Amino acid sequence: MSMKILVGCKRVIDYAVKIRVRPDKMGVVTEGVKHSMNPFDEIAVEEAIRMKEAKKASEVIAVRCYSTIQQETLRTALAMGADRAIHVEVPAKDCENLGPAQVSKVLAALARREGASLVLLGKQAIDDDSNATAQMTAAHLDWPQATYASKVSSCDGKLTVTREVDGGLETVEVSLPAVVSADLRLNEPRYATLPNIMKAKKKKLDKLSLGDVGVELRQHLAVVAVSDPPTRQAGVTVDSVDSLIEALRHAGRI
């Protein structure tokens, strides 16, 4: 099978970092803060590489859409085993406006440009928790989608995907080309070993501009304010069910 897989890699603040709100309350502090690849994207990269190792795919292309700084996210994907990488460069001033609406357009354009049959993304990024890019990309491409994948198997131009949904596990069959988003239990990403890190240095990393992929960035959302969640208040002990109901009513909860 000569299926090409496109995998999206987002660079996010590392999960272990304590997030601080910026003094101007328009975002969080990112300067000098440890970043790494979105964990769900790592899982997506791993799945793509496993499909290639199982000879279900011929090429894994890792893509990222952001300003030029910090290439280690794509290099991590290459060190894990992706064949090549594409960095769609966005001017630094526009990066704040990059959300699922914009990134999905870029991914769709790249999928068409590269002739990919599968776009594998993480289900959501741990910074904005949008959980929208995969779905929007599928819509732009008019391809079927299978989100929250915890198991993916491929056979004869179709994918059987087990999805983790609120009600339990749902198994769907999608025909290729398709968009799949990876959930936590899909796999355990491999280590970047020294031989693979060294091989990654020779792999191609192409830089494209938004113009190259024919996408114009338009801002749909404006951030009004960012603040810390309210500090947890002390609770109140009530002595009977009636008091509880009264307290809940009083608080406007029921």
Partner 1 sequence: MFRKTLFPSARYLRTVSSPSAKLLSTTTRNLCCNAEAPQRLPTSQADTLMDIGTRPLFNSDHDLLRQAARRFFTEEVKPHMAQWEVDGQVSREVWRRAGELGFLGMNFPVEIGGNGGDFLDASIFIEEQGYAQSSGPGFLLHSHIVMPYITRYGTPEQISRYLPDMVAGNKISALAMTEPGAGSDLQGIKTRAVRDGDDWILNGSKTYITNGSLCDVVLVAAVTDPDAKSRAHGLSLFLVDAGTKGFNKGKKLQKLGLKAQDTSELFFEDVRLPKEALLGTELNKGFPQLMQELSQERLCVGIICMAWCEAMFEDTRNFIRDRKAFGKSLTKMQVIQHKMAELKTSICVARAFTDQCIDLHTQKRLDQYTAAMQKYWVSDLANKVAYDCLQLHGGSGYMLEYPISRSYVDMRVQTIFAGTNEIMKEIIARSIVA
Site of interaction with partner 1 (CB under 8 A): 32, 34, 36, 71-72, 75-76, 79, 191-198, 200-201
For partner 1, the closer of residues 76 and 147 by Cβ is: 76
Spatial separation of the C-alpha atoms in residues 42 and 73, rounded to whole Å: 10
Residues 6+ apart with CB under 8 A from 241: none
Half-sphere exposure for 184 (CA within 13 Å, toward CB): 2
For partner 1, the closer of residues 67 and 71 by Cβ is: 71
Spatial separation of the C-alpha atoms in residues 30 and 163, rounded to whole Å: 33
What is the closest distance, in whole angstroms, from the C-beta atom of residue 74 to partner 1 in the complex?
Answer: 11
What is the closest distance, in whole angstroms, from the C-beta atom of residue 170 to partner 1 in the complex?
Answer: 30
What is the closest distance, in whole angstroms, from the C-beta atom of residue 188 to partner 1 in the complex?
Answer: 10
For partner 1, the closer of residues 195 and 252 by Cβ is: 195
For partner 1, the closer of residues 201 and 220 by Cβ is: 201
Spatial separation of the C-alpha atoms in residues 146 and 120, rounded to whole Å: 10
What is the closest distance, in whole angstroms, from the C-beta atom of residue 207 to partner 1 in the complex?
Answer: 17
Of 131, 132, 159, 129, nearest to 146 by C-alpha is 159
